[in-house]
Structure 1
Amino acid sequence: MTTSSQVRIPGPTAVTERALGPDLARGFMLLFIALANSHYFLTGGSVLGGYPRDGSTVDSAVTWTIATFVDGRAFPMFGLLFGYGVAQIVRRHDALGKWPVRRLLWRRSLVLVVVGFAHAMLLYVGDILAAYGVLLFFGAFAVRWRGRWLVILAALFFLLTALPSGASLSTSSAAPDASALPPDLSAMFSSRIGVQPFIMLLGPIGFACPFLIGLVAGRLRILERPERYRKLLTATAIAGIGAAVLGAQPVSLMLAGVTGVPDASTLELIGPLHDATGVLGGFGYAALITLVADRLSQRRGPIVTAVAATGQRSMTCYLAQSIVWALAFTPFLLDLSGTLTVATTALLATATWIATVVLADRMRRAGNRGPFERLVRRVTYRHP
């Protein structure tokens, strides 16, 4: 007879059992998240795709680089890794017995929504944590579906992303409004309370395809077994990143000022093209970093270890970035949105990422998994 002392309680994966690939991917891609988020605060002159149009040659070069390799490419990779992590949770609980994994996932969903809502209200209105929480709430119903149905549904969401539309951020001409740059605390809360639910409820549509593919990849443990899936990972890296770079060029060259701004109907085509190929680029980045991690797994240096530690604390480091954006760009604080350029903002984003890498490595040395990671695990698993 099994006693209570013999029952194994489900819990998070121990640090020593974690694969390097997913952690290294999360840690490095937080640099791309910083680059993708920070330029949307800039003002001055006309703004297109989140970039002021009156910058220098250096600004144009940085704009082309970020629009080609970063914008719309990092977030899909995080969506993939999010689904991959959910598949790991389900597999781990299946191995321990008939635990109510769906309720566990719903608790995880709830804490993401609550933290994400607070994050949007207090720091950064473009929060994605709450959107991930909503996605997980509905995705919990799909964790037992057959792989083929997950792939078919992912393909449908991908086609939805590729449909002609004027809603793409990459071609939007809207300048930052009061929800992003509030003139005072009253305007900050009153404007964000209307914008944040919109992002929280519609954001999952853009992340659904990577999330579902992540579920499939997690079941097969592709990112944990690169030696078994090397050909698949290599093909995905080449095809995904190649498609992302080529598909970005109509928008990237336009934003950099190399080509002119086309008519509205053309913008409705090239914007979704940029977004859809960015999803493929997210898959490619995940595959490439997994292959690199496999080469580095036996000889981890201090930099690789620190970046992986950042990936293990990705939620804490993501929120730490928003503290910098709030201080730097809020009009009643430092108010640098009209002072910084695209190039100097990219430097600020890079410096912020480096600071979070140093912070994460110090937490690793101290044996601290990160305050928000501990919070999520405490609520999810209901024990320390």
Structure 2
Amino acid sequence: MTDTAAPISQTERITNLDTIRGFATLGILVMNAISFGLPRPAYFNIDYAGSDTWLDWTIGVAGEIFIDQKTMAMFSLLFGAGIVVFADRAEARGRRTVRLSLWRNLLLLLIGLIHTAFWFGDVLTLYAICSPVLLVMRKRSARTLFITGGLCIAVSAVAMIIAQAVIEPSTDLGEYWVDENVAMSATVGVAFLLDFGGRALGAMLIGVGLFRAEIIQGLKPAAFYHRMARIGFGVGLPLSVLGAVIHMTNDWSGDVTLIGAVPNIVATIPMALGYIAVITLWNQRSTTRLHERFRAVGRMALTNYLTQTIIGLLVLDGLFSFDTLSRTQIFIFIVAVWVLQLSWSEPWLNRFRFGPFEWLWRVATYRKLQPIRR
């Protein structure tokens, strides 16, 4: 193996990125598990299914306020930062940075398409599609990246507002909100695509900016992250609560579903930044075994993300049928998977250099067999 294809050493790793990625990987399961165990509209509409008790409702509403889209935003921010890390290191080692990065993300697209064949909620495909934009923008100033990312998220919010104004909720929302057996209209489909794509690309660009500003690496003093957490939660939490209140006070009516999502769209980045600040403050403390376990989950993010789908489809979709599970039961499943992934990731990396899917991705990227054992 040549030096240019050498794996990142322990001393080169940015532990703050690993720790944040570990939390984001576990957190995204809270979103995805609903889609594994309940009909598709239940992901967006808490009233649709799985909410038979006060505990189910509490879990559903808390998930919408604190988790929904926030962990994906963290994942997206980290993907943007990861693009920069890979490109900068490839450039420093004298490799053809753009060509290698595009090839790497073409492989990610292939992984995402295979994942999509089994489950509709894949994010890897979208990340791979957006990656050329990140490569073009990666050397821009942090300010430019923040502004461009913010504009992308604004497109997402505006698309939902316009769509709400022109649709007929009872027929157009379909599988998005009302009936899993009815396709959503083209208008809702386009709005949803702009929403999902705008938020993802916007967060990735902001993630590149956070890296260029040396924020996401955990290099700022603790006082900076305390202030970042206060501002992030101070802006994001009221907006997220507002979105949930709009839905609840209107009995989850389709007449307000898209407009009710707008506060949550705007809240995603501030809330994600608040979480990142808190995690960074924790990561700046003396390293404990728990730190190592979360970092290991983050280093195996691709493997853990894909195995969440495998386990979820086998257990929630394979052993149970839709409409038989409650949100409480699904949350118990989520906690069990968290324990499993926190338990297996560190022992695996004590024996091997990469997670299994990370290793396959790396071998295909460099088109050369890489040693996996330590």
Q: TM-score range by the shorter chain?
A: 0.7 to 0.9
**Residue 14 of structure 2 is aligned to residue 19 of structure 1:** yes
**Residue 269 of structure 2 is aligned to residue 279 of structure 1:** yes
How far 1:266 sits from its partner (Å)? 4.2
Q: Secondary structure at the match of 1:15?
A: coil
Q: Deviations over 1:189-208 (max 9, x none)?
A: xxxxxxxxx99998443211
Give, in whole Å, the separation in 2 of the partners of 1:149 and 1:12.
31
Query: Match for residue 212 of structure 1?
Result: 205
Q: Secondary structure at the match of 2:62?
A: helix
How far 1:352 sits from its partner (Å)? 1.3
**Residue 356 of structure 2 is aligned to residue 371 of structure 1:** yes
Q: Residue type matched to 1:78 in 2?
A: F
- TM-score, normalised to structure 1, is 0.81
**Residue 350 of structure 2 is aligned to residue 357 of structure 1:** no
Query: Match for residue 189 of structure 1?
Result: none
Cα contact 1:72–1:279 (8 A) shared by 2: no
| Among candidates 344, 359, 369, match of residue 329 of structure 2 | 344
Q: Residue type matched to 1:315 in 2?
A: L
Cα contact 1:48–1:174 (8 A) shared by 2: no
How is 1:50-65 mapped onto 2 (pairs within 5 angstroms)?
50-53=45-48, 54-65=51-62
How far 1:87 sits from its partner (Å)? 1.4
Query: Match for residue 63 of structure 2?
Result: 66
Q: Secondary structure at the match of 1:117?
A: helix
Query: Match for residue 149 of structure 1?
Result: 144
**Residue 299 of structure 2 is aligned to residue 307 of structure 1:** no
How far 1:9 sits from its partner (Å)? 1.3
Give, in whole Å, the separation in 2 of the partners of 1:202 and 1:115.
23
Q: Secondary structure at the match of 2:121?
A: coil
Cα contact 2:159–2:195 (8 A) shared by 1: no
Q: Deviations over 1:204-261 (max 9, x none)?
A: 43211111111122223323343x3434322222222233321111333466x5x333
Give, in whole Å, the separation in 2 of the partners of 1:382 and 1:202.
36
Give, in whole Å, the separation in 2 of the partners of 1:134 and 1:314.
19
Q: Secondary structure at the match of 1:55?
A: coil
Q: Deviations over 1:24-77 (max 9, x none)?
A: 111122222111111134548x84724345520111111121111100100011
Compared with structure 1, are the counterparts of its residues 305 and 201 closer, same or farther at alpha carbon in structure 2 (3 Å cutoff)?
same
How is 1:83-94 mapped onto 2 (pairs within 5 angstroms)?
83-94=80-91
**Residue 231 of structure 2 is aligned to residue 239 of structure 1:** yes
Compared with structure 1, are the counterparts of its residues 83 and 218 closer, same or farther at alpha carbon in structure 2 (3 Å cutoff)?
same
- TM-score, normalised to structure 2, is 0.83
Greater helix percent: which structure? Answer: 2
Unaligned runs of 5+ in 1: 180-197
How is 1:106-121 mapped onto 2 (pairs within 5 angstroms)?
106-121=102-117
Give, in whole Å, the separation in 2 of the partners of 1:177 and 1:234.
47
Give, in whole Å, the separation in 2 of the partners of 1:374 and 1:30.
18
Compared with structure 1, are the counterparts of its residues 300 and 235 closer, same or farther at alpha carbon in structure 2 (3 Å cutoff)?
same
Q: Deviations over 1:152-202 (max 9, x none)?
A: 211211211232616799x952454599xxxxxxxxxxxxxxxxxx99998
Cα contact 1:21–1:293 (8 A) shared by 2: yes
How far 1:132 sits from its partner (Å)? 0.9
Query: Match for residue 182 of structure 1?
Result: none
How far 1:357 sits from its partner (Å)? 1.8
**Residue 52 of structure 2 is aligned to residue 82 of structure 1:** no
Compared with structure 1, are the counterparts of its residues 95 and 134 closer, same or farther at alpha carbon in structure 2 (3 Å cutoff)?
same
Q: Which moved more, 1:137-146 or 1:354-363?
A: 137-146
Unaligned runs of 5+ in 2: 165-172, 184-190
Cα contact 1:39–1:51 (8 A) shared by 2: no
**Residue 144 of structure 2 is aligned to residue 140 of structure 1:** no
Cα contact 2:25–2:75 (8 A) shared by 1: no
**Residue 31 of structure 2 is aligned to residue 36 of structure 1:** yes
Query: Match for residue 192 of structure 1?
Result: none
Cα contact 1:24–1:308 (8 A) shared by 2: yes
Give, in whole Å, the separation in 1 of the partners of 2:127 and 2:231.
27
Cα contact 2:232–2:274 (8 A) shared by 1: yes
Cα contact 2:160–2:195 (8 A) shared by 1: no
Give, in whole Å, the separation in 1 of the partners of 2:224 and 2:331.
33
Compared with structure 1, are the counterparts of its residues 317 and 175 closer, same or farther at alpha carbon in structure 2 (3 Å cutoff)?
farther
Give, in whole Å, the separation in 1 of the partners of 2:155 and 2:16.
30
Paired residues in the alignment total: 351
Cα contact 1:161–1:276 (8 A) shared by 2: no
Q: Secondary structure at the match of 1:291?
A: helix
Q: Deviations over 1:252-308 (max 9, x none)?
A: 3466x5x3337656443321111221122112212221121011xx3322x221121
Give, in whole Å, the separation in 1 of the partners of 2:264 and 2:192.
20
Q: Residue type matched to 1:299 in 2?
A: T
Q: Residue type matched to 2:241 in 1?
A: Q
| Among candidates 237, 242, 266, match of residue 250 of structure 1 | 242
Cα contact 2:87–2:101 (8 A) shared by 1: no
Query: Match for residue 251 of structure 2?
Result: 261
Query: Match for residue 169 of structure 2?
Result: none
Higher relative contact order (CA 8 A, sep 6+): 1
Q: Percent identity?
A: 23
Give, in whole Å, the separation in 2 of the partners of 1:261 and 1:75.
26
Query: Match for residue 327 of structure 1?
Result: 314
Q: Deviations over 1:78-132 (max 9, x none)?
A: 11111111111232234334x321111101111111011111113x211011111
